[in-house]
Structure formats: C-alpha cells, structure tokens
Amino acid sequence: MAAPFVDTAKITVRSGNGGNGAVSFHREKYVAAGGPDGGDGGRGGNIVVEVDDHMSTLMDFRYKRKYAAGSGADGSGNRCTGKDGEDLVIKVPLGTVIRDGESGEIIRDMSDRTPFVLCRGGRGGWGNQHFATPTRQVPRFAKAGLPGQSREVVLELKLLADVGLVGFPNVGKSTLLSVVSRAQPKIANYHFTTLFPNLGVVYVEEGVSFVMADIPGIIEGAADGAGLGHDFLRHIDRCRLLIHVVDVSGSEGRDPVADFEAINAELAAYSPQLAARKMIVAANKVDIMEDPTLLERLREHVEGLGLELFEISAAAHQGTRELVKRCAQELQTLPPVTVYEPTYVERPPEVDTSGQVNIQQYDDTWVVDAPWLQRLIANVNFGDYESRNWFDKVLRQSGLFDKLEEMGIKDGDIVSLYDLEFEYQR
C-alpha cells in the first residue's frame, strides 16, 4: 500500500541553549597570580531548514512533531571555550512554505536551495576572564548562557510546477501527464483514481521543457471542503499556466460546458488570482466522442471567453504534441513561478519582569541575574536602534534601575547583564 500524501504539518522547534561561562584562575608553577582564565560557554545549536530534492511530501513530519538542537557546552579553565551545540538540520521538499503557527504569516518560502536558520541558538555566557579590570583583578563570577529560541511553525507544501492540470475526476488528466512526460501516475476508469498530486517533466525539444502537475479531481464545493480537491487546490497556486481538461465524449452523460463552468467557479471561490490565471482548454476523449455537438458547444463557449481549445485524445496520443508545444510558447511570455515573500514580522516578546532579581556588587561592577532577563536579552537585536530603545524601556519599567540606585550605584559604574556590559548613567 502506498504511503499517504502529506502536504501540511505543524511542528515545534527549539534551538540549543548557550553554555555557561566558567570561573577559573590560572595556576602554573613559578607563575604567581596568574589571573582569571575562565572560558566562555559554547553557542547553542541552530535549527536550520534545508531543501531535499529527494523528498516529495511532508510525510516525515506526520509522527515526529518536536525538534531540538544541541546545547552549547560550559566553558572551562585555561580560557577554553565550551564546544558549540550541534545544529539540527530539518529537510523539507522544494516548495515548502514555513508559516508562523500562531498568526499564519509566512516566515520563509523554501523555493530555492539556500539553507534558512529558523531558530538561532542561545549565546554562550562569558567566563570570568572578561570581568577582570585594574580595580577588580579577581572576579569570582561568570555568566550563564542565554536560552535558545522556541516556536511552533506550520509547514505547507505548494508544488513548484509551471503547468497545472485541472478538471473533474476521470476526465483523463493522469493519462495526459503520463503521455507527455515520464511520470507514471495511477490510471483507472473510476473517479478519484488519483489521490495525491503527481509531477512530470515535459520535454518539448532541445533546451525546452517545463514541469506539469496533475492535481487530484476537483468537484463542486471543493473550495468549501468537498471531495479531495480542497486538499490540493494550494498546489495550483504557483502554476503559471492551467490546462483545463474537459471530457467531451459524453460517455458519462455529463455536459462539458457545465463541467467547465463548475471547475472555474471553484477556482474563483478558492482564489480570485487563480481564476484569472492564463488557461488553455483541452477537450479530451474526442476519439470516443458520441455526440459531436457537445464539442461544438464547448468550443463556442470557450472561444467566446477568449480562450484557446485543443481537441485531444490522451489515450490515443492525438493532439497532445500540439498542446504541449503551445504550452511552451505561452510559458515564454508568462512571469516566473510565484515565490511568496515573507509577511511575518518578529514581535517583541511579552516578558514578565515581576520575577526575582539577584544583584551583586564587585567593586564598581554590578552583576545582575534574573531568569526573565535571560529571555529579554535573547530577543533583543542590539544592532537595531528601535530594539535597543525597547530593551531600555523594559528595564526601566521593571524597576531594575530604581533598585540599583537604592543600592548605591554611581554614574560610570559598570552594569553586567550576561554577555552585555554598559556604563550606568542617570
């Protein structure tokens, strides 16, 4: 039995924590007062997303939903930095869109093969070697590493295909794909034979080819969740050109014009942009056509809409060559496959600053430690002016500066917050 096709998955990812800095003093024979030599903690591992060309579904994420990178090792004496945590590489199929699990906004479209860092590991804490000054030569403190990032994301596969085949079940889409490409979809004379999208590369001539996708049968009400089509409409989103396959044989007693309009209505209900996509109509099964008036009615209707119609029989290989050559000509004038731009904007986290704060004074240095402070610093981009202003605002609102002044801090004293130090100014 074939494995099910999985094209959406929700997972939780967490990067590694940074290692703690070490408190150590150099000890060597004949070397007096060697000084502090505590090394820094290692960086936590990143969560990295990469494209794997051998993957075609998100099946790997069906059972495993939590992914965590390695944490950095603690520093040690002799200025030895702890080992960095190992990055965790998550493989996804080409065309996977990564969305924020809460807002649904796009974080990244994996439409190329450039690796993407989804969560950055926490920075390692400083060892006591960094805290030595002329007035503080024996620092007996180091800093803890910062925690890694954690987030919930939704993976959504949107196939990368130039041409999409749409139409009711059993109209011959899979047969057409198998004839014009080397794809081998399941073909049988019953509805919903195709249960998942199939891709095939169509070679037209030397140096001219394109990717065609067979989308499982869409029925009336698909945009509202009926049938199988609603699960796979997303895979037509990127298609530059649509081939609307219509059965004109009359073998099932269907009206080709009604079928044509019904599918177009579902495309419009799902996405107005999709309904406006360039379309070619393929009137299929002309070799077993029982009533020629069905074809003529469809032709009159289609051409009245300004669309081209090709008479084909996929099973008899009739008219298929002309169809793919026309597709290749159209693709030369159409814009490239859609790549979705990120819409997700990193929002300042809600940090509860009501927790306990530990402040210790070492000469003119004030070392501040608090669990909420770790989370705060881990989410600040100190290279960004707005982010620094937000950081300063949160610190003032937390009452930290008031507490430092109560304890006697002076202008010019050093405030040490993990791997961040600054001079205090009122």
Domain assignments of the chain as residue spans, ordered by start: 1-158, 163-331, 351-426
DSSP code, position 366: E
Residues 107/345, Cβ–Cβ less than 8 Å: no
Identify the pLDDT of residue 230. 53
Rounded distance between C-alpha atoms, residue 394 and residue 230, angstroms: 46
Q: What percent of the chain has pLDDT over 90?
A: 40
Identify the pLDDT of residue 169. 83
Q: What is the pTM of this model?
A: 0.75
Coil vs helix vs strand at 5: coil
Identify the pLDDT of residue 381. 76
Identical topology for domains 163-331 and 351-426: no
Domain 351-426 has CATH 2.40.50.140: no
DSSP readout, 165-230? EE-STTSSHHHHHHHHSS------SSTT---S-EEEEEEEETTEEEEEEEPPPP-TTGGGT-TTHH
* Residue of 268, 243, 267, 240 whose CA lies nearest to 339: 240
Identify the pLDDT of residue 191. 42
Say how many residues make up the chain: 426
Annotation: CATH topology of 1-158 = Spo0b-associated Gtp-binding Protein; Chain: A, (2.70.210)
Give the chain's residues under pLDDT 50.
1-4, 185, 187-194, 222-223, 225-229
Q: Which structure tokens are listed for 407?
A: 């304890």
Buried b (16+ CB within 10 A) or exposed e, 313-332: bbbeebbbeebbebbbebbe
Per-residue pLDDT of 40-99, as tens digits, reads 999 999 999 999 988 878 888 988 999 999 999 999 988 899 999 999 999 999 999 999
Annotation: CATH topology of 163-331 = Rossmann fold (3.40.50)
* Residue of 174, 184, 163 whose CA lies nearest to 243: 163
* Residue of 360, 342, 341, 285 whose CA lies nearest to 316: 285
Identify the pLDDT of residue 90. 97
Identify the pLDDT of residue 363. 78
Residues 88/67, Cβ–Cβ less than 8 Å: yes
